[in-house]
Amino acid sequence: MRLSTLVLRPYSSVRNMSPREGSLEAPTRHPIDWHNPDFYSVESALEEMERVFDICHGCRRCVSLCNAFPRLFDLIDESPTLEMDGVPKAKYWAVVDQCYLCDVCYMTKCPYVPPHPWNVDFPHLMLRAKAIQFKQGPRTKFRDTNLSSTDRNGKLAAIPVVVHVVNAAAKVPIIRSMMESTIGVHKNAWLPEFTSKTFRKNVSASKTRVITDGKRTKGKVAIFSTCYVNYNEPGIGFDLTKILDHNDIAYVIVEKEACCGMPKLELGDLDSVAALKEKNIPPLAKLANEGYTIITPIPSCTLMFKQELPLMFPHDTDVQAVKAAMMDPFEYLIGREKDGLLKKDFTSKLGNVSYHIPCHSRVQNVGQKTREILEMVPDTKVTTVERCSGHAGTWGVKKEFHDIALKIGKPVFRQISEAQPDYISSDCQLAAHHIEQGISLLKIDQPEHKVQIAHPITLVRKAYGLPD
């Protein structure tokens, strides 16, 4: 990419519109128009990509966020005209493949999002392109469909006996090489282990409590456990219930639960997203209407209910009720603290915590609530890293993207490694494992230092001195 092109130029077809950069009004998000037949028109999508890519070419702010923008700018800089008109439209899909829908370019960088008349929504344009690709049936559809079926995979892999075979097989190099050549999962990518002691089957019921609502928070919560916590790391869920118990907050587990749909959304498989929504929303809306706050311990799932489903189903009152009731766990705990209802009787110091805020937490626009809670623990130093780890759900384990995922995360790995933390902690546990793997690959000569990964919820449970 030529750095000499890093200049701000107006977009040709909107030259007569407002020359003002950015907008003084709060950003808005248009609903995803996925029921409109034009949404799936290749010609119309390519036209919109040309328009938006041209604006990005003139702006280039997002060059360091991910690999989608460098890929786009390389295409332009290597074209005969050095402009969008020199890039064959068939090459646009190479940009689409590099986007993992983290939403950071929209939420934190772009001055041209609506209501600005240039109306740039890069992530949702990429979503539209992915939806078209999915309908057409890409080469990797079999791998992608299976990887994104987190609920089904968890149910199968969590069967006793099967679970041991699956976990052991994932550690055998020859099997990993076969997995790479047959289903396209990179042989070196970290993969989560499954457990037969799933969260939803083994969680203890909440004690009977007097419900104490605060000004900002409800005194009873419903836990949407998520596929990852249910089938892979139920300890995070158990720790969450211990924190709630300790703070006299009543909880229920959502009666029926399927995958939130985020892995399917990231593929552009919008029909599957809609099918999962039909399973999840009725029980969640019932809880929302009964006055529960709904919390999920994985930021991508929270974002799915807070943002993506409401934009896909803007007129569905149940979806909107769930959106209004949904909170990040630390957003909820800070709300309790502001209500004077959070216990701060922390008995165990945490030491030096390197806290990574994942993209899907950042774009919820609730501030750094996890950091605020961790900083309440005495004798605890929190260093916050606010940058993409590169993992991006299932994207970072795919054969063709794993090395790029490690490259994107390198500044994060380096920053965390240099902090010499006692704990590496991220609201996204997948990101934490990816960071651990990335650090192990850095050739940094540092004294032997024992570091553990622990989810922020687990750290708070430890800080309260509550047993494992």
Chain positions contacting ligand SF4, by CB under 6 A:
55-56, 59-62, 65-66, 68-69, 99-105, 109-110, 112, 120, 122-123, 126
* Rounded least distance, CB 62 to ligand SF4, Å: 3
Q: Counting Cβ atoms within 10 Å, is residue 102 exposed (0-12), middle (13-18) or buried (19+)? A: buried
* Rounded least distance, CB 461 to ligand SF4, Å: 32
For residues 36 and 128, give the distance between their C-alpha atoms in angstroms, rounded to a whole number.
Answer: 11
For residues 78 and 63, give the distance between their C-alpha atoms in angstroms, rounded to a whole number.
Answer: 16
Which residue lies nearer to ligand SF4 by CB, 106 or 238?
106
Residue from 266, 233, 235, 259 nearest 396 by CA: 266
Which residue lies nearer to ligand SF4 by CB, 46 or 258?
46
* Rounded least distance, CB 67 to ligand SF4, Å: 8
* Rounded least distance, CB 439 to ligand SF4, Å: 22
Written in H, E and C, the secondary structure of 120-135 is: CCHHHHHHHHHHHHHH
Q: Counting Cβ atoms within 10 Å, is residue 116 exposed (0-12), middle (13-18) or buried (19+)? A: buried
* Rounded least distance, CB 228 to ligand SF4, Å: 20
Reported as type and span, the H/E element at residue 222 is strand 220-223
Q: To which residue do tokens 């998000």 refer?
A: 29
Q: Counting Cβ atoms within 10 Å, is residue 211 exposed (0-12), middle (13-18) or buried (19+)? A: exposed
Structure-block tokens of residue 384: 């916050």
* Rounded least distance, CB 156 to ligand SF4, Å: 30
DSSP state string for 306-340: IIIHHHHSTT-HHHHHHHHHEE-HHHHHHHHHHTT
Task: Enumerate the β-bridge partners of residue 381.
Answer: 352
Structure-block tokens of residue 71: 């890929």
* Rounded least distance, CB 306 to ligand SF4, Å: 16
Which residue lies nearer to ligand SF4 by CB, 92 or 112?
112
Which residue lies nearer to ligand SF4 by CB, 92 or 100?
100
3-state secondary structure of 137: coil
Sheet of 351-356: strand order equals 380-385, 351-356, 423-426, 452-453
Which residue lies nearer to ligand SF4 by CB, 105 or 301?
105
Which residue lies nearer to ligand SF4 by CB, 121 or 331?
121
Cβ–Cβ < 8 Å for 196, 156: no
Angle at 227 between CA 359 and CA 124, to 5 degrees: 40
* Rounded least distance, CB 124 to ligand SF4, Å: 9
* Rounded least distance, CB 414 to ligand SF4, Å: 20
Structure-block tokens of residue 45: 């999508």
Which residue lies nearer to ligand SF4 by CB, 219 or 393?
393
* Rounded least distance, CB 24 to ligand SF4, Å: 17
Which residue lies nearer to ligand SF4 by CB, 52 or 424?
52
Cβ–Cβ < 8 Å for 70, 63: yes
Which residue lies nearer to ligand SF4 by CB, 309 or 405?
405
For residues 310 and 288, give the distance between their C-alpha atoms in angstroms, rounded to a whole number.
Answer: 15
Which residue lies nearer to ligand SF4 by CB, 62 or 424?
62
Kindly report the length of the chain. Answer: 468
Rg of the chain over Cα atoms, rounded to whole angstroms, equals 23
* Rounded least distance, CB 86 to ligand SF4, Å: 18
Which residue lies nearer to ligand SF4 by CB, 147 or 254?
147
